[in-house]
Amino acid sequence: MRNKSDLYDFSKLGQAIKRARKNKRLTREKFAEIIDLSPRYIMSIENKGQHPSLQKFYELVTMFNISVDEYFFPDAGENKPTYRRELDAILNSLDERDIKIVMATARAIQENKETGE
C-alpha cells in the first residue's frame, strides 16, 4: 500500500492551470461554473497541488491545452512546454495582419539580444 508521500506533486501543474486560466481572463468563479467545481476546490488545485479526479484532470488540461508531459516526464526534453503550446494556440487565433505584428516584435527582440542593447 502506498502512503501519501508517494503521491505525485501536483503543485507545478496546478500553477500551469492557474496561468492558463488567467491568460484566458477567467475568474476562478467563472471557471468553477464552467467546469462544475467550487472556486475553493479550484484554488486548492492551483495553489496547494490538490489532486483532482481523473475526469476533472482531463477536463482541466484539455480545456487549456496543457501538455502534461513536461510535468510527468521532465527529463524527456522533446515535448513543447505548456507556455509554448499556449503561444501556439494564441497564434492560431490571429489573422495575417496580427501575425505580421507578432513577427516584427519577435524580430526586434531577437535583434536587440544580438546587438546587446
Say which DSSP state 64 is in: T
Contact criterion met (CB below 8 Å) for 68 and 76: no
* Dist CA 29 CA 33 (whole Å): 6
What is the band of 65 on the pLDDT scale with cuts at 50, 70, 90? confident
Domains of the chain with CATH codes: 4-115 (1.10.260.40)
Q: Reduced to 3 DSSP states, what percent helix, strand and coil does the chain have, rounded to the nearest 5?
A: 70, 0, 30
Q: CA end-to-end span of the chain, whole Å?
A: 57
pLDDT at 47: 94
* Dist CA 93 CA 99 (whole Å): 10
Say which DSSP state 80 is in: P
- In this prediction the pTM is 0.59
